[in-house]
Chains A and B, each alone.
Chain A
Amino acid sequence: MTTSINSRNSSGINFSEIWQKYGTVIVPPIVAVIIFCVIWQIFSSDSFPGPVKVLQESFTERDGVRLIDPFFIKGNNRGLFWQVFASLQRVAIGYSLAAIVGITLGIITGASPIMHRAMDPLFQFLRTVPPLAWVPISLAALRQNEPAALFVIFITAVWPILINTSVGVQQIPQDYNNVAKVLRLSRPKYFFKILLPAALPYIFTGLRISVGLSWLAIIAAEIVMSGVTGIGFFIWDSYQNNYIAEIILALIYIGAIGLILDRLVAYIGRLIVPDEQR
């Protein structure tokens, strides 16, 4: 205590206080990342570049562009930002569709026991089909890469949303339903004042799981569907040309975007769902 007061008096910025506050939070992950990179470097070889080589190659000019610049456009060759952006656009469309359909169906099956009994086995069956397995059937049915990719995202993302929403509606505390019954709330009022807010935490859990899944699905779909701009195809293309460092850089982008998407949905959920329900 006394030392911190002294150091504050002696200098404008209080390092010991900052260290006390953040040191234990920030330092361990940084150390872990460094150790990870060291191990990576040790195990690297010609066919599997280490972190140093990846950085070097990213800054090396090839075909007149440097890969480290995410925004370059040179003919069909585009920077990683544009690749990611193209993928994200597909995710946005497919995921939004999944959210609309999933929440709607989820509410219907959650609110009606008969609908639940009818649909649940089907949903449980379909949701176990892995995203990649949908690619051939969607390509065959839709004949074009773009809609097929959207369909794969949709079909992957819809199940967690649907099932969580359904559970959320079923799990509305009896107390809230009793309040609605005693007040004889009208149906629209019940829906907006009780059902929807009560199921929100579950819906957001579903949305959060699904955003990760749809990001997963787009990579898989794009690898298979050649010739479209997108981070998935970018990886596949790099592999074909044996640019391993490019693949690793792309993986870092994919990981970062996946993390950001997950945190973004969680953040929106925190904004909307009141404290008491979490």
Chain B
Amino acid sequence: MSNITENFVSIEQISKVFNLANGQDYIALKGIDLQIRKGEFVSLIGHSGCGKSTLLNMISGLDGPTDGMVLLDGQKISRPGPDRMVVFQNYSLLPWLTVRENIALGVDEVMSNLSKGERQAIVEENIQMVGLAHAANKPPGQLSGGMKQRVAIARALALRPKVLLLDEPFGALDALTRGNLQEQLMRICEESHVTAIMVTHDVDEAVLLSDRIVMLTNGPASKIGGILEVDIPRPRKRMAVVNHPSYYSLRSEIIYFLNQQKRVKKLNARKKTAVAKHGLEKVNLEIGFVPLTACAPLAVAREKGFFTKHGLDEVSLVRETSWRGIVDGMAGGYLDAAQMPSGMPVWMTLGGNDNRPLPVVSALTMTRNGNAITLDRRFYEQGIHTLADFKRMLQDSPSQQHRLAMVHPSSMHNMLLRYWLATGGIDPDHDVLLKTIPPAQMVVDLQAGSIDGFCVGEPWNLRAAMEKVGFTIATDLEIWPGHPGKVLGVREDWAIAYPNTHIALTKALLEACQYCADPANAEEVGQIVAGRDYVSTQPEYIQIGAPSAIACDLEEPMREYAHHLFYGEGVNRPSRTEHLWQMVQMARWGEIPFPRNWVEILERVCRVSVFSTAARELGLSEITYSRGAIQLFDGSTFNTEDPLGYLNSLAIKRDFTVADVIIDTPRIA
């Protein structure tokens, strides 16, 4: 019984192939598996042509699947029927019948066992429900679009269908009408406990109406790219849902997904073969970055011609709004290289991304520092100036959930924030809620009150302070001075296929790092980074050179601003010790398993030889010295000989797993 309720509508391994006119086959859908609970409202979202309407048609029975089947209430669907009423985008009302006759047509046919009076009562009741009593005798031609769609909904619901199928029901309506109808539909669905499946391309509509949002990838062979649970409580109000903390993260999740689908299409079209030139295997590179002050080396390498100088004539920088975009770009092979949070190479190599290990290597640390933890300004006014104050505040308000944000599980921000909280006795998973938000969204979210603080790279801490929405409670100098910030990451198979390009890229960026670090260039670099192609902000938010007091210009306590380190002794060389520390920290919080073969993994991730060759060829061998031991603010030392022992000694941690992580040996090309 519960099985039927859980799998009220069951879509099992559906595929759909269309035979094209030219004799070829077009695979529209492939391997769609979806279970829908009774009373659930599910949205199907995706780009045009992703097959979402086709999927709906197979549930309605108007179209049959090539493979697989759809079950409703345990019964296989083979043809259309009134238990699965459809609300079409173009209403599909019969223009020669009045509103009442349109609704009665179905009622009379389907409920022929009822008396005439009972049927009339049902028709009238449904006309009332959608508020069209005054128009019951009008033909559809005299109604507005919104009224027509209300008739279509009434016609569908009058038959008490098991499932209501809506195919972009409000797509042709103006915004105001759409909003009203959405609320009416929600009310009706909640009153009659109907199970509904809606196709839409409107992100806000999907979030507002749905219990779950099913995102379909672009065709051909579309599949389910992800399913989002909408945890906003019902009844929902259109104006109120936007204030729910989940609203914007759900929204940005869907928009990210849709943009990614669009970009994959574009990148697939652009995907070119490697152009070999100047003794390099590939000079046409797509390099991903996220707009932050830390993208300075990439921006400078391009604007000041360091790429070209080292033979990389056709470099294009691809701006991603979030680190997830970088991950997907690397995993999909659309990006040749990317600026990455320093933990990302290890994280991807160990299967942090959906448990799919993808060996990624790093030969250059591009920046250090430049991160800070910002809290909402109201905490400062409440006298919370230190970690201890923060902990006391959390203890005093256990009923309140405090939300802190970071940019990616594998970023230093996540690890620093967690380490800082844990050192203060705050469990980052239980005492607060950690959310992943793209860097550029932090200040806006803090202002909107959907988060209470964040750990992110510049310029966002500075900006929050200057706009008086937040204050810096801790800079990275107070947690781990000189910690790695962003690194250059490439896929291992890429590094093996294009070894000379890898060295040339490292050289170009290393020289750019050197340029950024020269105080004489600080203003110019700031201008470049603030430009439209990069961070696109006012130059005063970009702090490249001398530490500025602005960010910390609160009376008490004064802090030293954590400006970026781009270049120097031991700054740029990839460090096994640091990657190991990050490996331990990510294992500590359950992001990845800790590999028993950690020595091997580190050897593969850290491409010191590439860095050394690049530095030597540039005549910069003096900077290759490695750094000393890691000094953290709590005074603990990190024993590189016994990472597991260190991990076990930490008080606050998750149930981490230790496993042999076997990664395919790369093919030597």
Contacts and interface: CB of A to CB of B under 8 A. Distances in A.
Nearest to A181: B80
A277 B95 CA distance: 7
Contacts of A181: 61-62, 79-80
Contact of B95 (A178, A189, A276): A276
B81 A179 contact: no
A193 B97 contact: yes
A117 B150 CA distance: 41
Looking at chain B's contact residues, the main secondary structure is loop
Contacts of A194: 94
Contact of A184 (B81, B86, B97, B141): B81
A197 B84 contact: no
B352 interface: no
A113 interface: no
Interface in A181-226: 181-186, 189, 193-194, 197, 200
A173 B106 CA distance: 18
A183 B106 contact: yes
B498 interface: no
A199 B106 CA distance: 21
Contact of B141 (A176, A193, A200, A275): A275
Contact of B80 (A176, A178, A275): A178
A182 B139 contact: no
Interface string B62-84: 10000000000000000111101
A181 B79 CA distance: 8
Interface residues of A, number: 20
A182 B88 CA distance: 12
A194 B97 CA distance: 10
Contacts of B106: 183
B60 interface: yes
Nearest to A190: B109
B105 A277 contact: no
A227 interface: no
A252 to B, nearest CB: 40
Contacts of B79: 181
A36 B97 CA distance: 48
Contacts of B81: 182, 184
B80 A274 contact: no
B139 A185 contact: no
B4 interface: no
Given A274-B95, A276-B140, A277-B95, A185 B88 contact: no
Nearest to A200: B96
A175 B92 contact: yes
Interface string B88-101: 10101011110000
B96 A277 contact: yes
Contacts of A189: 105, 109
Interface of B: 60-62, 79-82, 84-86, 88, 90, 92, 94-97, 105-106, 109-110, 139-141, 159
24 contacts: A175-B88, A175-B92, A178-B80, A179-B92, A181-B61, A181-B79, A181-B80, A182-B81, A182-B85, A183-B105, A183-B106, A183-B110, A184-B80, A184-B82, A184-B110, A186-B109, A189-B105, A193-B105, A200-B96, A274-B95, A274-B139, A275-B141, A276-B140, A277-B95
Nearest first, the 8 closest Cβ-Cβ pairs linking A and B are A276-B141, A276-B95, A175-B92, A197-B96, A181-B80, A275-B141, A182-B80, A183-B106
Given A179-B92, A183-B109, A184-B80, 14 more contacts: A175-B92, A176-B92, A178-B80, A181-B80, A183-B106, A183-B110, A184-B81, A184-B110, A185-B105, A189-B105, A197-B94, A274-B95, A274-B139, A276-B140
